[in-house]
Amino acid sequence: MIKVAVSGCFGRMGSAVIDAVSAADDMEVACGIDPFPKEGTSFTVYSSMEEAVAAGGFDVVVDFTQPSVIEGNLRCALPAGIDCVVGTTGLSDEKLTELAALAPSGTCLFYAPNFTTGAVLMMEFAKAAAPYFPEAEVIEMHHCNKKDAPSGTAMRTAQIISDARGGRASKAPGAETELPGVEGARGALVSGVPVHSVRSMGFVASQEVVFGSMGQTLTIRHDSWDRASYMPGVLLGIRSVGAREGLIVGLENFMHEA
């Protein structure tokens, strides 16, 4: 049995992870970590990562917390040799590399900008299309309580598009066309790709990648309407990290092996 600690266990995603791990027959919830405890849980809940690591008793920590706390959590868990499955976005590639270097040999830091198989395939399709279109834009739409913008998925998608076309920036007009007083209308430029963020009630997580060339457009869209859509990817990450080490970014690394 894989013993799992869930950081942010009372949040929306954390609660879904608790249910998914509890329902799996090859893993169990060893403890939860949340600064806002609730009564009536069937597992021990610690108020901080430091307390949980000191108590021990788990193999993997799954983190769905907030950008403001994830770095501190990883600085505590990784040096202790605990494999980490991270869905909290907001960390740069440079920071992830720095944090992964804190871990002893045999420890894995797995970071997924998105845990849904559909979103991973969307990025794979975007990678395949990118070399053939001179223009590309990413539009991501999330619920109004999301703490970061752009989303980690949008950032990752823009990087993948840029890499696939050799770092070439979009040929569409950019910030130079924005009217005075409304700067930002053309979105944020991520690796040369404009990225736009929508925050509104009615969404969980959606993203469109719009490619354009002479006389045609190609739109690739993924919608997640329920947080249950993330759980197969989370469980795959939990099952996979024990046999890996170092920094691994993207669920596709494990999907290709499944």
Catalytic residues: 142, 146
- HEC profile of 181-232: CCCCCCCEEECCEEEEEEECCCCCEEEEEEEEECCEEEEEEEEECCHHHHHH
- Spatial distance between the Cα atoms of 7 and 15, rounded to a whole number of angstroms: 10
User: What is the full DSSP assignment across 70-85?
Assistant: HHHHHHHHGGGT-EEE
- Spatial distance between the Cα atoms of 54 and 57, rounded to a whole number of angstroms: 9
- Spatial distance between the Cα atoms of 70 and 245, rounded to a whole number of angstroms: 19
Provide the CB-side half-sphere exposure for 217 (13 A, CA). 8
Give the pair of three-digit tokens for residue 37.
Answer: 């405890």
Provide the CB-side half-sphere exposure for 159 (13 A, CA). 12
